[in-house]
Amino acid sequence: MRRSRWRSGAIVGLTAAVVAGYAAITTTGASAAEALLSQGRPATASSTEAAGAYLASEAVDGNTGTRWSSTFADPQWLQVDLGSSKAITRVELNWETAAGKAFQIQVSENASTWTSIYSTTTSTGGNQNLTVNGTGRYVRMYGTQRTTTYGYSLWEFKVYGDDGGTTVPGGGSLGAQVTVFDPTMSSATIQAQADAIFKQQETNQFGTQRNLLAFKPGTYNGLNIQVGFNTSVIGLGQNPQDVRINGDITVDAGWFQGNATQNFWRSVENISLYPVSGADRWAVSQAAPFRRMDVHGDLNLAPNGYGWASGGYIADSRISGSEQQYSQQQWFTRNSQIGSSLNAVWNQAFVGVQGAPANSFPNPPYTTIGQTPVIREKPYLYLSGGDYAVFVPNLQTNSAGVSWANGNTPGTSIPLSQFYVAKPGDSAATINQALAQGLNLIFQPGVYHVNQTINVTRANTVVMGLGYATIIPDGGVTPMQVADVDGVKIAGLLFDAGTTNSANLLVVGPTGSSANHAANPTTIQDVFFRIGGSIAGKATNSLLVNSNNTIIDHIWAWRADHGNAGTYGWTVNTADSGLIVNGQNVTAYGLFVEHYQKYEVIWNGNGGRTYFLQNEQPYDPPTQAAWRSGANGYAAYKVADSVTSHEAWALGSYCYFNVNPSIHSDRGFEVPVNSGVKLHNLLTVSLGGNGVIDHVVNTTGGPAQGTDTVPSYLVNFP
């Protein structure tokens, strides 16, 4: 987000290289009588076709878009180390065209003396599923004759067997970083614990500490819970009214001299709040959701002194008084009820909000849409009969107002025993075993390094992070991918790119996904992506959506413009795009995508809808040619030329080219010109005159330029 200095309150396909990041994983049944043993294990080979490419490890990575390939000679072998001796029951080989005609499957305890457990001289390649019987720590394919003049090439080499009969247990502790408050505790004790956590987290923007503060049902008096970085505050009731705080839950910007534009990565959820002064202060910017809140009074979204602010997101909340935007340059509110709205700066949007102001864009710049076409509210942790459970709200269509207005939110409760509770230090292999057993997944607050992809393959799986649980891929893997199945819910996670480039950070559906999920779509909610800032991360793309009907409900995809020393810069934290949508009929609410180096959002699927985008183009192109040769930069939001149906509302793109203020961007938005592609309520802004956006859409509108920081507006296109 921008760090430029002016007071905003006073200024009332394209994707072939990155879509290969998905591959399905074949899993076996629940209790691991037969388990996948080879994925992610150390692998070696007799040779590789090219130096540094087609590595042995790529045949055991669970990704059918990568492969091992040998030199063009016989014999050749590929082997995997299972770590200890295992009973082997089955081997799957997924051959590329260059396959083995004559080969053996062999086992060994020492990788020197081998025993054959399968042999053929008549293989024609393809996908082979071989039932075998043997025991060994090492398993290899030993090829003696090829089907082609090329080498041996395997997309995947999977070894199954007995893992010792162990299963991953469900349930368990939520971890030491979850602080639970009870209404029998004294206010002084609660306040002291909350203050201690805030003291650690007030300025700890890029640290590894993660926290969840959870309030059991009941009434709490005289509290002011200040919320710092990487901290979530939740009520553990079925509904917001079950946890009543007579006091405040506060975000302010004293740590940053009254500037709230870096108040990221914090959240509050499921609490009834009675502010002491009649107004609660929630002065945030990106990745700071305000969900399922019942505020008895006003909600002030600006920092003390009405300094700069650049959030934010509200959903499923009731504010009896005024939603006070003040200096918030943009804001998105969905499925809520408010008494009124105060002030508008550049781009304030309301979808399905009772009490919202009338649509009046651009003067004032309110975009108001009466109903939300399709949504499922975010799953949430709560106490059910004294035990932890997760409540999953039902899908709604054409809705407005809060989901809990008439009693309990309609939906389904899932006991904690049906979740694997992951803890920092758990391997991706353990997490995948839990998912293969049929468990859902909760991440304790903390940082998780994964050296293989977490594969979500079962329909209706719930994957939740607590307290900004953060997943970092090692070795360039895609950290998480979802199969083309119904009803998966991914919520509350931060993906932080690793130092080796990943193709994608989260993939929903394999390439070519075609199933219709309209009745039970996958949802991506409060999921955030960071490229650089904490570490010198790299990822070609952040979120790739291939599944049809997916609902994206609040993401922030951020290529860092600031952070720890050495973690950001034009050639340091490289990233092409923040979001690529290939699926049909995908709906997005509250997109925040910033600073990527090519098209920041690419929409290739038909039937797409976006309600609100906040974008800043990259700050740091050193020269016009370094950004893009032959054109002035990339649009923030690109609808592919092949798309014939797409509609979007309340899109804003800003430029702040602080490395080279002479940079121009041709346009904020780029779309095909046809009757089925419609954009409404658009703006571009040059922040403090640092660069120029020449047009709003294609060659229409603009330019956005000049030190006065006045938006260039466009109500409809075409």
Q: Which H or E run contains 659?
A: none
The owner of tokens 């053929």 is: 120
Q: How far is CA 53 from CA 71, 150, 321, 451, 684, in A?
A: 12, 16, 61, 18, 43
Strands 290-295 and 266-274, sheet pairing: parallel
Indicate the DSSP class of residue 431: H
Q: Quick one: tokens of 700?
A: 């229409």
Burial class of residue 36, CB neighbours in 10 A (0-12, 13-18, 19+): buried
Site of tokens 């004032």: 364
What is the distance between the alpha carbons of residues 159 and 529, in angstroms, rounded to a whole number?
33
CA gap 279, 404 in Å, rounded = 22
Question: Considering only CA atoms, which of 269, 710, 210 is closest in space to residue 424?
Answer: 210
Helices and strands in the chain, H and E counts: 3, 50
For residue 685, the cross-strand partners are: 654
d(CA 393, CA 409): 6
Cross-strand pairs, 398 = none
Q: % helix / strand / coil in the chain, to the nearest 5?
A: 5, 45, 50
- Cβ(264)–Cβ(501) below 8 Å: no
**Any idea which residue has 């559906």 for tokens?**
509
Residues 163 and 32 sit within 8 Å (Cβ to Cβ): yes
What span, in angstroms and rounded, lies between the C-alpha atoms of 61 and 36? 12
SS3 295: strand
Who contacts 335 (Cβ-Cβ below 8 Å, separation ≥6)?
A: 315, 316, 351, 352, 353, 372, 375, 377, 399, 400, 401, 402, 403
Q: Tell the burial category of 345 from Cβ atoms under 10 Å away from its Cβ (0-12, 13-18, 19+).
A: buried
Q: Count of CB atoms within 10 A of residue 97's CB?
A: 10
- Could you tell me the two tokens for 294? 């019942």
User: How many other C-beta atoms can be found within 10 angstroms of the C-beta atom of residue 115?
Assistant: 13
Tell me the catalytic residues.
616
User: Hey, is 10 helix, strand or coil?
Assistant: helix
**Start-to-end Cα distance in the chain:** 29
